[in-house]
Amino acid sequence: MTETVITKTIYLRATPAKVWEYLTDPEKLAIWFHKPSAPLTDGAYEMFGTESGDRLIWGEVLVAEPFTRLEYTFSVTPMAGQSSTVKWSLEEVAGGTKLSLRHEGLPQGEDAFGLALSLDGGWDEHLASMRASLHNT
């Protein structure tokens, strides 16, 4: 069976430093994703729903290389204790930043496919929100 991996790439009219803020700063993350209790730069983290306040995502930051690469483990309740990995890469391009996402290590099998669909659609929505916010600032 082929491993389920979600990959996305978007182009943003913003510097890698500005995009990095949107990936690591709690106030910026709250705009387009979920708000962590602390910056995503080192160690364990938790993210909470901006409206509900409920803990939605948790894990550990594995790599934080400012303006180029961020990696962290990623768990949500439907994963039943399993952990996946989210890897972000930022590349400066003429006029802005190429931002790539690789979400790997997701649960496998027919029963887990609904989770993969949900995460895939969620990333699309969240990245569109990030783009909208960055392009309107």
Kindly compute the dihedral angle of the four CA atoms of residues 47, 83, 43, 86, in this order, to the nearest 10 degrees.
-80
For 36, the domain range is 31-88
Cα gap 42→78, rounded to integer Å:
25
> Mean pLDDT lowest for which of 27-41, 42-56, 84-98?
42-56
Of the candidates 15, 104, 6, which has an alpha carbon nearest to the alpha carbon of residue 68?
A: 15
Is residue 98 domain-resident? no
Is residue 58 domain-resident? yes
Is residue 39 domain-resident? yes
Q: Which two tokens stand for residue 45?
A: 């983290």
Is residue 18 domain-resident? no
Is residue 82 domain-resident? yes
Cα gap 106→114, rounded to integer Å:
11
Is residue 6 domain-resident? no
Instruction: Give the pTM.
Output: 0.94
- Give 98-127 pLDDT, tens digit per residue: 999 999 999 888 888 999 999 999 999 999
User: What's the number of domains the chain is made of?
Assistant: 1
- Residue 12: exposure state from Cβ atoms within 10 A (0-12, 13-18, ≥19): buried
